[in-house]
Amino acid sequence: MTTADLTIRLTTAAVLGGLVGLERHRADKAAGLRTHMLVGLGSALFMIVSAHGFGEVLRPSLVQLDPSRVAAQVVSGIGFLGAGAILRRKEAVLGLTTAASIWAVAAVGLAAGGGMFAGAVAATAVVLLTLNGMKWVEDRIAVRTATCVLSLLVMDGEAAERLAGGEFARPGLKVSGLRFSAGDRPGTRRVEATLSGLSDRELLALAARLQAAGEVLEVWYEGRTS
């Protein structure tokens, strides 16, 4: 393999991985541009080493080389990065989509390292379409049947009543359950609202709006996000 060919394969893998990473970075995910670029680059290099890195030890009568062995370890090894991107908070599992994008970028890197540029570019395009276009589909269809629990710690009972009659009474917000209880700090109240029909974007916007209210001390939710 020439130096030019090696450079083209590594650069292609890094650029394609960076495109996916840029989308994850814009979505404010922990694994963003640099992580995805490095995964793509590393996977491509493993593929190149696996296929071309052992020429000096090959002997047709003594040594047989399986060029897939080193590259195959990328598939299992990338699970460590994917596991690091996944978080569990009570009943909510976060980061699955980012973990899947890391796994997909590893495959793109292997394809680029193997010289399958058309497959690498096509796969990257499908990944970007999935991350952007399918998010819109989820927000419009699948999420409408999902429920989540939004839990607030507020300063006192009056603040809890104002939220019940204000923020949670907004038109278009479907509240299927509202529960009040004593907070874990003296004088505070806990408000738990069961909401339905909210997309991830809408849920995060609502949580941020409530967090900005002076009478709200803590906000967290149990639901889905990617």
Task: Render pLDDT for 107-150 as a digit per residue (tens, 0 to 9).
Answer: 999 999 999 999 999 999 999 999 988 877 776 665 555 677 88
Tell me, yes or no, whether 133 and 215 share the same domain.
Answer: no
Which residue, of 140, 156, 182, is where some domain finishes? 140
Contact between residue 195 and residue 170 where contact means Cβ atoms under 8 Å apart? no
Tell me, yes or no, whether 8 and 120 share the same domain.
Answer: yes
Tell me, yes or no, whether 109 and 46 share the same domain.
Answer: yes
Tell me, yes or no, whether 34 and 135 share the same domain.
Answer: yes
pLDDT band at 225 (very low <50, low <70, confident <90, very high): very low
Tell me, yes or no, whether 32 and 121 share the same domain.
Answer: yes
Contact between residue 109 and residue 13 where contact means Cβ atoms under 8 Å apart? yes
- φ, ψ for residue 106 (rounded to 5)? -60, -40
Tell me, yes or no, whether 15 and 88 share the same domain.
Answer: yes
Tell me, yes or no, whether 175 and 128 share the same domain.
Answer: no
Tell me, yes or no, whether 92 and 174 share the same domain.
Answer: no
Burial class (CB in 10 A: 0-12, 13-18, 19+), 95: buried
Tell me, yes or no, whether 22 and 89 share the same domain.
Answer: yes
pLDDT of residue 112: 95
Is residue 161 predicted with pLDDT exceeding 90? no
Tell me, yes or no, whether 96 and 58 share the same domain.
Answer: yes
Tell me, yes or no, whether 55 and 160 share the same domain.
Answer: no
Instruction: Tell me how many domains the chain contains.
Output: 2
pLDDT of residue 196: 76
